[in-house]
Amino acid sequence: MASLITCPHCGARPKEEFTIRGSASVVRPAPSAPDDDWHRYVYVRDNARGRILEYWHHAAGCRRWLIVDRSNITHEVFSVIDAADKAREAAK
């Protein structure tokens, strides 16, 4: 059985329709931040085990960026939200 991701726009779709960008929990430093902050942002990443937030692109569907909350141990998907919706919420 194929792994499915429930896109908020397209419904349940096979994971092969998506591409992964990376962690959705990393916070971008301010443009004026010290070089050390930028170095950590670009090059240093934790390799977390367990439940993580990731950016996924629905490349073979609606072409929207999504934030997928999943376990990188069991690959269980807990939730999927549109990344634009999350950005709008964060801007409030």
Residue 1: predicted pLDDT: 46
Among 19, 9, 86, smallest CA distance to 56 is for 19
CB 44 within 8 A of CB 30: no
In tens, the pLDDT along 68-89 reads 999 999 999 999 999 999 888 8
Q: What angle do CA 51, 12, 48 make, to 5 degrees?
A: 15
In tens, the pLDDT along 11-66 reads 999 999 999 998 998 889 999 999 999 999 999 988 889 999 999 999 999 999 99
Domain membership of residue 87 as a residue range = 4-91
- Please tell me the pTM assigned to this model: 0.84
CATH of the domain at 50: 3.30.2270.10
Q: Domain tally for the chain? A: 1
Among 92, 47, 40, smallest CA distance to 73 is for 47
